[in-house]
Structure 1
Amino acid sequence: MIDLSVIIPAYNEAGRIKDSLNRIREYLRTKPISFEIIVVDDGSKDETGKLVQEMIAEFSELKLIHLPINQGKGFAVRTGMMEAKGRLVLMSDADLSTPIEELEKLVQAIEQGADVAVGSRRAKGAVLLKHQSWFRQNIGLAFGFFTRMIVPTGVLDTQCGFKCFKREASKKLFSLQKSTGFAFDLEILALAKKLGFGIKEVPIKWKNSESSKVKPFRHLPAVVKEVIKIRINLWRGGKFA
């Protein structure tokens, strides 16, 4: 078993995927650990998959999973998680809005007993290097309030794309995941709470990416629908046994 798997869902990331992968590799190679980086190309219409494939020849730790059609971020992350071989498994957005160096904080939380370490922009001590627009920030706050009312997890920031899991927790939680879109983080954390896994919210550094794939007006109705489905599944209970 290797020490760490890094899962990166990627949809139309040709403009930055090589730089992000090189940053991750350079950082992890300074650590006395074995690792793999799994890019899940979620049906990209650009050359994301081609660029990653070209890097593999000189990047032994890199793996590519290609999904023929776009299935959603949740589906892509689950696919990578189920393939991961690491003792710890990190999910990270391709834009590295949370710098890879913040991994140390999540690993420390797990070493202190957590099963799931959640990078948080809302926890005390978080540093926002570049803020979202007023509109996106307030949409995010409203969404956070809504989800805490519908699906309480005890986590202030469920949607930050930087989370680390013990292997046992990742395999159990993602095998039960139903949500395939942007609300999947909420479901995973709700499942973790329901099943008794230890969750630690960790303040991190974060910078807004102007080219975020989340479009509030376009995606909000589908995300709200996903949240309601998650609540119904939790009520049913038996599906998550």
Structure 2
Amino acid sequence: MAALVLSFLIPAYNESARLGATLDQVLTYLRAQPYDSEVIVMDDGSTDNTVAVAEEYFATHRGRVATRVLSYTPNRGKGYAVRQGLLAARGAVALFSDADLSTPIAETPTILRPILNGDYDVVFGSRALQGSVIGQHQPWLREASGRFFNRMVRLVTGLPYADTQCGFKAFRLDVCRPVVEAARLDRFGFDVELLFLAHQAGLRLREQAVRWNDAAGSKVGLLSGLHGFRELWALRQHQRRGHYAAALACSRALAASQCAAPARGLV
């Protein structure tokens, strides 16, 4: 069996209504690529038939792309779901995407290529950089709260990035796995934690402008924002208590060794 280049991860919570259409777009795209890949749906304790939809789709659309469903109960949060997918991924690079494909699947090369070329270890989509294209905007209150949250992220963590919350991020797994294993935040703050740990470990991060459209039915709301601020505080507490120290040292050592660099020139 050829080595997998990409693991495409889709965290899902009560996504039965749109998951079939999402999987159709993702698998159609990946089957047309020159590299081997897999798709993993991480069901985050859904109370609808998300698991049944995913399993039925995969059973009736077999092809060269490997597919899996990871499911558990109860609901733990998107961060927990993404972490399970990253730890289960078998590709050289793992990319997670929101189930609504608010960032179109066609943006994959923009995120994947810099890692496969050996230039970066983490590349993440951004809606705030020059070159970003937002078709359908979020409601004004959500956009304003997102900008405020980003200012708080910069203040609390020192991260220099304009958008940490876009749901389209890719990780070179050989050097990022210790960071993923050390992560502890399960909800809205998980993106910040992963980027913070990768940055602290001295990994090479790139914030990349992407296309993005707000999708109806988003599960991000006021409660998510409150979770985010609480988790920013928790992140600082974990750092002060040294909970991340061993993982950061491990990632630094892996990065310094330049081990297992992903293959180049595949996208």
Report TM bin, short chain.
over 0.9
Please give the residue correspondences for 1:198-237 in structure 2 after superposition, counting only pairs within 5 Å.
Answer: 198-216=204-222, 218-237=223-242
Q: CA deviation at 1:215?
A: 1.2
Deviating 4+ runs (over 6 angstroms): none
- Residue 107 of structure 1: CA displacement? 1.6
Find the aligned partners of 1:117 and 1:219 in 2 and give their Cα distance: 24
Query: 2:60: which partner in 1?
Result: 58
1:77 aligns with 2:82: yes
Cα distance in 2 between the residues matched to 1:139 and 1:220: 8
- Tell me what 2:254 maps to: none
1: CA distance, partners of 2:175 / 2:91: 12
Match of 1:68 in 2: 73
Shift of 1:222: 2.1
Report the Cα offset of residue 238 of structure 1.
Answer: 4.9
CA–CA distance in structure 2, aligned partners of residues 119 and 240 of structure 1: 27
Aligned mates of 1:112, 1:66 — CA distance in 2 = 33
Q: How does 1:3-152 map to 2 (within 5 A)?
A: 3-60=5-62, 61-110=66-115, 111=117, 113-152=119-158
- Extract unaligned runs of 5+ from structure 1: none
Q: Counterpart of 1:119 in 2: which secondary structure?
A: strand
Taking the TM superposition and a 5 Å limit, the aligned residue runs for 1:159-174 are: 159-174=165-180
- 1:74-103 deviations in Å (ceiling 9; x for gaps): 100000110000011101000000001101
**RMSD over aligned Cα atoms:** 1.2
Q: Deviations over 1:97-131 (max 9, x none)?
A: 00011011112222251100010001111000111
Q: Which moved more, 1:115-124 or 1:148-157?
A: 148-157
Query: How many residues are paired up?
Result: 240
User: CA contact under 8 A between 2:189 and 2:227: conserved in structure 1?
Assistant: no
* Residue in structure 2 matched with residue 153 of structure 1 by the alignment: 159
Percentage identity across paired residues of the two chains: 36
User: Are the equivalent residues in 2 in contact too, given 1:125–1:204 (CA < 8 A)?
Assistant: yes
Is 229-238 or 170-179 further displaced after alignment?
A: 229-238
Q: Distance in 2 between matches of 1:92 and 1:240?
A: 28
Structure 2 stretches lacking a partner, 5+ long = 247-267
